[in-house]
Chains A and B, each alone.
Chain A
Amino acid sequence: MLTTLWLKGITRRRSGRLAAAALGVALTVALLTALGSFIAGASATMTGRAIQQVATDWQVQLAPGTDPAAAAAALAQTTKYEAALPVGYADVAGFVATTGGTTQQTGAGKVLGLPDTYRRQFPQQLRPLLGSDQGVLVMQQTAANLHVAVGDTVAIQRVGQPDVQVKVAGIVELPNADSLFQIVGQPAKTAPQAPPDNVLLLPMSEWQPLFAAQQAARPDSVRTQLHVRISHDLPSDPTAAYTYVQQLANNLEARLVGVGIVGDNLAARLGGVRQDSLYARVLFLFLGLPGAVLAAVLTLAVAATGAARRRREQALLRLRGASTSRILGLASIEAVLLASLGLALGLALAWLAGLLVGTNAGLFEATTWLWTLLAAFIGLLLAGAAILLPAWRTARQATVVQARQAVGSERPPLYQRLGLDFVLLGVAGLIYWQAASSGYHLVLATEGVAQTAVDYTAFLAPFCLWLGGGLLTMRFARLLLLRSKLLTRLLRPVAHNLSGVVAAASSRQRGLLVRGLVLVALATSFAVSTAVFNTTYNVQAQVDAELTNGADVAVTGTAAAPAGRLLAKLAATQGVAAAQPLMHRFAYVGTDLQDMFGVDASHIQQSTTIANAYFGSGNAAATLAALAAQPDGVLVAAETVKDFQLQVGDQINLRLQSAKDQQYHIVPFHFLGVVREFPTAPKDSFLVANASYLAAQTSNPAAEVVLLRAKGDAPTLAAAVRPLVADLPGVRVTDLEAAAQTISSSLTAVDLKGLTLLELSFAVLLLVGASGLVLALSLAERRRSFAILSALGAKQGQIAAFFWSEGLLLNIGGGMTGVLLGLGLAQMLVKVLTGVFDPAPEGLSLPLGYLLVLVMAIAAATIGVVVLMRSLARQQVAEVLRDI
């Protein structure tokens, strides 16, 4: 009976407070559930993309004389597979071609034998450039070396056998030459071998008779590989998928022991993604968990605003003889009600968020149900902590008299006495310093090793900064509220001659105010740090994509058909803001062959972003000006500078290929400075020089690449440009957005938009909750006091002075502290998560629009609450007074 009465009482009299607390539980549950869903979704996306990028999953190298059909049978016993085709590899002494009255001869090369269905089964291995994609195909570089075109004849110099002649049917590019010509079975960590420069591809039906005799005479020079695409029904997590694929490969090797070894391209690719996947998990936890913690704190704060009333009710129950278990039983009704509402609303919110922002993992999928259960369990704990714990503490520890007291004895809180704020800030600094000294390498996923490691302790740095900053804010807020004279002066513009009374009242309610202020500070700092981090991340992702692609749109031709030929046409295309040619050559630095880029240093910035961070000097404009001023100047990678002990001004002799004789000749340059990154440049060492000097020295003015800056949308411009360059053989048109999707060396490949949108929305909700809800509930709890004020003759404006003073103290004080804390946190997050960025950002990017939304949200919440409370105070005087 009492239970029913209590339940009715709660739903009728405390529905607002119950709903507010349930919203807090719901936000906690929803954020945790959505996080789990995002982590699972992102991992699955990364795995899917990694798999897509592998041209051939396995290359099974068969021992001479092994029947490929027997190997395929062993494969079938190991795992399901979608394709398994034998490919012949034959070493040859070279190729010879006579064209245009001259004869060209290459060095050693390879001739591959491909089954007829190979191109259909493994479409990413070959990219036809000219002629047919069937018959005798020549690799692009080989065709350039031999000066052959479609229809020409090439002589194959077999090992120990007479030469044979074949007619070229087509010219192709081998985009995955590295893996196609890998040395299968090479131990991990040994230096990879460069793919051959000279390659010819024959249909298997032609290859077999041509190399049967060579195979018999020199079995070491002819090999057969089984190229395999296994079933891609793999675990969605890259680490699990990597382990699974590796185990399958081990299993196959065990079956083929002595006759075959597996070149596991799929595991190698998945292994590379593991690090990104771990960073993604870290990123999601870092950005999302504070929100969940904040929602939990908000729930506790909402529940705490009704603590005095609950204490009085408990005192009355005890006066009437209720036992502790009876009191706890009644409190548990409220807790169960709160938990039920919170869980239902939270799961609904998470589901809705998944729908709205496109999470591709549901709440109860195999990869997410554990997160969902964990979130629900935490929701239950939170409801218990908000209601049952204070009830239990009051029932166990307080006497009836103590319980009836609204205001307890004044003593600094335990954290302040222990100096916990300073301790936490010290710990944050220490961990940050430690992470900095190790170069912020948080994630360890060693190549070829199944185990991965994440240094989660580094995450304690921002977490401790957040908590320590929050506690320090509490300390300062308490100090301010104890200085009633200072407070009186601060409040005078709002409260006028009531400022002293308002300050005194605020000072005596400092516990309540300080909690509210810190909550606003924490919510603001969460919103600010998340927004600043996300904006910085997005800006860097854009920089990364631009760096990789070269510009908004890059038109990449070949040495034989350079895109620079169409420069004028491209520059005149509608939607092009600027077009600049970019030479891409190769130069020998000693014995090391490096990419070399030729630019117009005075104008390259018109078509692409050249950031300060790209150069050792840290000043892009000055470095490019210096390059423009010195025609034979060259910018060199730091590694090369170190290897050759270069000083600025030193002469460097590089070897470049001349267009006159196709031979490499020494060309002198002067070292100008260090270059770290450059549009379209590889991650390893490269060189940047003046295009005009390169053209003069190599007798070749061709620019292989044209970089375009778009006036509007990059994909639209790319689509407009493609038909214009369609006649150029082998040309590729790539845009920024497509590049961002395919970059695999960084987290740019992970779509954070969904999480970002969710987080930023939650951050605004939490901020409104912290600034508005806590203020509203705190004021509502004291509506009796405001009714008395009204009865004493306070005008609406005078009562509002109390509301405004409290609202401004909470929200201006908390908001300003939160912004500072948030910027500090963002700076620390960006530093700790340096590994996520490529290249590292030069500074924080501020989302001014979102920050304005935050300010407006706080202002709207404060104004809304004050207006609502003013209205309630006016309407309810007589009703409230009847209760007095």
Chain B
Amino acid sequence: MNSTHLLVAADAVSRQYGQGLSAVVAVSTATCEVEPGARIALVGPSGSGKSTLLQLLGGLDVPDGGQIAWPALGSRDELRPGKVAYVFQTPSLLPALSVVENVELPLLLGNRAPALARRAACASLDQLGLTHLAERLPEELSGGQAQRVAVARALVAKPRLILADEPTGQLDHATAAQLLDSLLAALVGTDTALLIATHDRAVAGRMERSWQMQHGILEVS
């Protein structure tokens, strides 16, 4: 089977923290694939290894066993910035930068000219209805606003894959729904894949399919 179109292909990937008696197996022989345009929920209780798997799939961490490849994206070093973007559970904006500076950061890191980066950041904020917050500092935002800015930052470089780690975990249901609406709306018409780790069934229900994670073992449906 031709797998060159796949964004991620993980084969029997494992990750363990610590050694000896205190060793914790976070991910055990996980095998999965992510195609362009996929909408996947990674569901499981806290501590089941969801965040570790996302970090491995995004190239932020290196597996102890098994292999991960990014056939359509290139090598691990080529993933970020641009091709893979993250949205974290807790506010992950740089506190010393304003909202618009936070959003343009991935473009600047990708060596985009500052003026072009600023224009794209403004467009991304506008897309999510956040233009009025552009000059504020992260500490001046509510939790929901900060997460929406984080989504804008993830979208600004038009990545092929977005990995979101419990992005609504600290939000109330209404704000969580609003955030998810914004994210999904922004992805309409693109082939950007979305892999979202959650233990919220409502969130998982809005994805095309779900993967289950339990004690580090992944079940792909």
Contacts and interface: CB of A to CB of B under 8 A. Distances in A.
Interface of A: 405-407, 497-498, 500-501, 504-505, 508-509, 785, 788-789, 791-795, 798, 877-878, 881-882, 884
B80 A791 contact: yes
Contacts of A497: 108, 111-114
A508 B112 CA distance: 23
28 contacts: A406-B95, A406-B139, A407-B95, A497-B111, A497-B114, A501-B97, A501-B105, A501-B108, A504-B96, A504-B98, A504-B101, A505-B94, A505-B96, A509-B96, A785-B94, A788-B92, A788-B93, A788-B94, A789-B105, A789-B109, A791-B60, A791-B92, A792-B109, A792-B153, A793-B81, A881-B51, A884-B88, A884-B89
A405 B139 contact: yes
A793 B153 CA distance: 12
B70 interface: no
Contacts of A794: 81, 109
Contacts of B97: 501, 504-505, 508
Contacts of A792: 80-81, 85-86, 105-106, 109, 153
A500 B105 CA distance: 11
Contacts of B92: 788, 791, 884
B197 to A, nearest CB: 13
B65 interface: no
B127 interface: no
Given A792-B109, A884-B88, A878 B55 contact: yes
Given A505-B94, A793-B80, A884-B89, 14 more contacts: A501-B97, A501-B105, A504-B97, A504-B98, A788-B93, A788-B94, A789-B94, A792-B80, A792-B86, A792-B105, A793-B110, A877-B61, A884-B88, A884-B92
Can you list the 3 inter-chain pairs with the closest CB atoms, starting with the nearest? A793-B80, A793-B81, A505-B96
A509 B139 CA distance: 14
Contacts of A407: 95, 137, 139
Contacts of A785: 94-96
Interface string B59-103: 011000000000000000001111001101110111111100100
A745 to B, nearest CB: 60
Given A497-B114, A500-B114, A501-B101, A878 B139 contact: no
Contacts of A405: 139
Contacts of A500: 101, 108, 114
B165 to A, nearest CB: 9
A498 B112 CA distance: 10
Query: Per DSSP, are chain B's interface residues mostly helix, strand or loop, or mixed?
Result: loop
A318 to B, nearest CB: 19
A798 B110 CA distance: 10
Contacts of A795: 109
Nearest to B91: A884
Contacts of A878: 55, 60-61
Interface string B165-180: 0000000000000000
A881 B96 contact: no
A508 B86 contact: no
A505 B97 CA distance: 6
A882 B80 contact: no
Interface of B: 51, 55, 60-61, 79-82, 85-86, 88-90, 92-98, 101, 104-106, 108-114, 137, 139, 153
Given A497-B113, A504-B98, A877 B108 contact: no
Contacts of A498: 108-109
Contacts of A882: 51
Binding site secondary structure of chain A: helix
Nearest to A499: B114
Nearest to B111: A497
B43 to A, nearest CB: 20
B56 to A, nearest CB: 9
Contacts of B85: 792
Contacts of A793: 79-82, 106, 109-110
A788 B90 CA distance: 11
Nearest to A509: B96
Given A500-B114, A788-B94, A878-B60, A508 B80 contact: no
Nearest to A505: B96
Contacts of B98: 504
Nearest to B80: A793
A576 to B, nearest CB: 68
Contacts of B80: 791-793
Contacts of A884: 88-90, 92
Nearest to A790: B60
B121 to A, nearest CB: 11
Contacts of A406: 95, 139
A509 B61 CA distance: 30
Contacts of B89: 884
A405 B94 CA distance: 14
B80 to A, nearest CB: 3
A785 B93 CA distance: 8
Contacts of B111: 497
Contact of B88 (A505, A509, A877, A881): A881
A795 B81 CA distance: 9
Nearest to B51: A882
Most B Cβ at <10 Å: residue of A505, A793, A795, A884 = A793
Contacts of B137: 407, 508
A259 B51 CA distance: 103
Nearest to B159: A793
Contacts of A791: 60, 80, 86, 88, 92
Nearest to B78: A793
A647 to B, nearest CB: 73
A19 B198 CA distance: 41
A795 B111 CA distance: 11
A666 to B, nearest CB: 88
A405 B95 CA distance: 11
Contacts of A877: 60-61
- A509, A798, A884 — most chain B CB neighbours (10 Å): A884
Contacts of B55: 878, 881
Given A791-B80, A793-B79, A881 B95 contact: no
Most interface-central of A505, A788, A789 (chain B CB within 10 A) = A788
A505 to B, nearest CB: 4
A505 B95 CA distance: 9
Nearest to A785: B94
B115 to A, nearest CB: 10
A29 B30 CA distance: 58
Contact of A881 (B60, B82, B112, B139): B60
Nearest to B89: A884
A407 B139 CA distance: 8
Nearest to B61: A878
B24 to A, nearest CB: 12
Contacts of B109: 498, 789, 792-795, 798
A698 to B, nearest CB: 85
A878 B60 CA distance: 6
A798 B81 CA distance: 12
A489 B86 CA distance: 31
B7 to A, nearest CB: 16
A315 B105 CA distance: 31
A407 B94 CA distance: 12
A785 B60 CA distance: 15
A760 to B, nearest CB: 37
Central interface residue in B55, B80, B96, B137, by most chain A CB within 10 Å: B96
A785 B90 CA distance: 13
A877 B92 CA distance: 13
A517 to B, nearest CB: 17
Scoring A405, A406, A497, A498 by chain B CB atoms within 10 A of each residue's CB, the highest score goes to A497
Nearest to A788: B92
A523 to B, nearest CB: 25
A878 B82 CA distance: 19
Contacts of B106: 792-793
Contacts of B104: 501
A877 B112 CA distance: 24
